[in-house]
Structure 1
Amino acid sequence: MKVKRVDGVLFEKMLVNGLNYLKQNEAKINEMNVFPVPDGDTGSNMRMTLENGLRSAKVNTNVGEYANELASGMLMGARGNSGVILSQIFKGFFEDIRRCSILDAREFMEGFIAGYKCAYDAVIKPVEGTILTVAREGIEHIRGQINRGMYIDSFFSIYVAEMKKSLEGTPNLLPCLKEAGVLDSGGAGYILIIEGMLKYLQDEIVDGEAIVTKDNNVIDTTKFDEYSNFDYGYCLEFILQLMVSKTDINKFNQKLFIKDLEGLGESLVVVKDGTKVKVHIHTKLPAHVITYAQTYGEFVAFKLENMALQHSSLASIEEDTKLEHVDLAKIAIVNGEELKQIYTELGCHIVLDGGKTMNTSSEEIIKAIKKCDAEKIVIFTNNKNIELACLQAIDVLKQDNIHMIKSKNSLRGYYALAMDEADNDNLDYRIKQMEAGVEAIKTITLFNASRNCNLNGVEVKKDNIVASDEDKILASSDDIYYIIKNSLEQINDISEKTMCIILKGKNFKYDTELLEKAINEANPYLEINYMDGGLEIYDAIIGLV
């Protein structure tokens, strides 16, 4: 297919082909894990993120309008670090091409440049040797070769080839990749998507299931008749184009805009994007909201629905009944019913199940936050894989009362939660206490190696027991006694006051006598407490505090 311009319909078909090509290689990407932990989910996270974007976007000949819905859907459905970064690449891409109805090669290039820059800005501490590097080098190294008159497949061919060169160099930028003998999985997944788009232009269609957009719900009008009570009001959603004839756009006061709308309804979400403002509100007075909004501009998109009909009112954020008011609401992401019960008993108000690989989406976190009626909200991430999705959720909501606690694993989160002084009126003090709890406990994770490798000078054989402190491998062997003894010798500050907590997983099959013997030899004063955590990835997490 030789084309020099791409409209929204062709762009969507290219992306679906990219998604299907990623799907074909999803397992391979998942296995490209630095640590030999059987929790690789990079391919799955990227696939689900792009899938959510495609399902959220209606086919549109205008590529800018289509990309807007696509990027919004990806933003809300982003899972894991790789998914969040992918969503940010497409967010930046959309922001650059938003006014384009069709794209030529030069506009594609400029969009991908804006995309990688947006992704870099979204990551607090960007690391080279990752998907960021691949996206940046791939496009920057070909800037001088791209012109408006070239065929689109030629542009994508050059882009893919340069990204593959960059991917091969990732181990030279990130020592852990070289040590593990793998390439960056996020970069590899991104290349598959772009290469799948190229394949469509080359008339190579990758088999896959059809993508069905989310907005296919049928309104059941029988649920509201002449005898119904009008209890719920309307769900009103619109995009407002600010107009220079009505307001000074440069001095638009978003806080005042929000304050005025808050008096007209509930569940208010306001997101300003350039000169447009997206609003979602539940109100019984839609005319008042509309009249107020028109003092600033005019509508470019508009949706009004009676909530009694229980129709999907907002593609990106579904509302749930709010919880009772509390001063400090606590949200946690865990895996399994056992941990959900443990966290609930410790006073956690909302406990999300992150699944086996802990890949909760930004949308799921947003829904949980919006259920809370609280002065302040804390979120225990319990896995580094969730932190970017959590930050993205906070950024979307634009609330300054949400605090993320980087608890790294479920046992750290458990101890931090236990440190909360619920009867203390000083909310900032309570949050600091919980943060201190995360740092106070030292943890060792135990799991079976998924492959052979050599990390941190430790030789790891497939199926051996591996001990890790989350950042590095401590020991590996088929002997639990050796594993525990060797690992504890590397942990400082173990004293007679130290308590040992062992959070057991579903596959906990160790000889507890040998395990306790090794612990007691490290410190005979250690008190050992067991908890059933139902962990799936780890056999156990040992905590010392």
Structure 2
Amino acid sequence: MISTVIRRCFPAAAQVVADRAEDINKLNVFPVPDGDTGTNMSLTLGTVVREVQALPEGASIEDIARAITHGSLMGARGNSGVITSQILRGIAEGLCDAKGQEDPTPADIAHAWRRGVKVAFKAVRKPVEGTILTVLKDVSARADQLEKTKITTREMLDALVVEAYESVARTPDLLPVLKENGVVDSGAFGFATFLEAFVNAALGKSDGLTDFKTTVDAKADVTSKVAIELNDDWEGSQYRYCNEFLFHAEKPFDADEALSYLATLGDCELVVGSYPDFKVHVHSNEPNLVLAYMLQYGQIFEVFIHNMDMESQDRTAKIAADQAGAPSTQAKKPLGFVAVAAGSGEADILRSLGVDVVVSGGQTMNPSTADILAAIDEVNAESVIVLPDNGNIRMAAEAAASACDSARVAVVPTKTVPQGFSAMFATDLDASLEDNVEAMTEAIAEVRGGEVTRAVRDSAAADGTPIHAGDVMGIQDGSIELVGDSLDGVTLELIARMQADEEGDSLTILAGQDLDDAAFSALVDAIEAAQPDLEVDPHRGEQPLYPVIFSIE
């Protein structure tokens, strides 16, 4: 079924883009050489993965399409991320038209690509040849050609990957700034990378490259046109700031009129979505005017304002260091963050909140002082805040802070990953190290943590209750408070006790790698039924050994 294929393949493809994000960043010279295309595409795809994985087993293609549309809109970052969100939305909508939700036919695939072209080109006021939109259009045209033949779905998918890379290889001939810099378009390359990885997963290919010689040749053609050169020219835009945020309209709102106004303040303007929720993106020298204009019509949130000039300098420094075969000498950022997490989902959330480096570790695999010290150095910041996210790791973090001579380092004593989330929400990049430590420490004081796991040996709870191997334990702030035989029962009772002790407003809950989506969804439903006044925020944490970790604030 199409829905099953998407749920299985999208995360794998998103991970490939994440793994290659830095390579994609280095190609980034258009519309400005700020070196963030790979990062932005990866963050956008990561949000989609979380929304799709949160759906119950057996979700329909319509449910998945809505998750893709909402997730990519909410998570879209940068010009490339916003355009990618519209491509994904269009293709997902097109696949909803496939009859019977069985494996898609070549006609279904061609129809989905046509829908992707229609939605994406509608979103961009001034499409530029030689970009991700060109690759989208070329792949769709190729799909239209193949639809008229007797080609199989498998053969068609492989052929579309070839077309994508061939189109990427042509981008320098269509966009002069690419040829001047000796690169292909970064967004186009990122898109082709995602498509190839998705097709590999869909067709069950275990290696990183497709096994058809034509695809290898197409990729080789791309590689032959990538000899990244240093270029400090600021030609893509006369504007310094990339402004992007989510917008919720509270009164009649004309997106076309907003686009026309934003065009007077800058370029690369995008307003995508549907009433009342939109994503806004524009390059401008006056972020205050952009925000003031949109505030007339509703609320703005998740505001990101990037200085593209500084990002461009960082990109140039990285490339120079790579070419010299030496460590990067890019300017240090004022403040950076290191956190420890055991699960891939936990790590993704921490990165989305601004953590620069996530060290793998947790209750049973504590990272060493050397591991944390290496992460601090990797951040390349004047000041670094470390979040151990586990009481057993605090001493190693403090030892690393004391041993570091390349930066000022402080440790905020988080005991759980959810405390790390709350700490990151309290950060202010314009404030001093000391002020941030104070604010973050105050924030985690308001967070009470709970964990649910199974006992591996006989023991006793805090009240003396005997614990036998295999029992389910409810742990509050490090103390075993509850023992039972049901994961759901212990979780619900632990939350009830914590609410009785001190009523909280919100609960963040993370599913471990051993708790499947269906069971997690049922548990969340039970919590919401039992605690109707508690706002529940569920996520896949993918942490080992602990099927449930939660915090109450």
TM-score (structure 1 length as normaliser): 0.42
User: Larger Cα Rg: Structure 1 or Structure 2?
Assistant: 1
Higher relative contact order, chain-length normalized (CA < 8 Å, sep 6+): 1
TM-score (structure 2 length as normaliser): 0.42
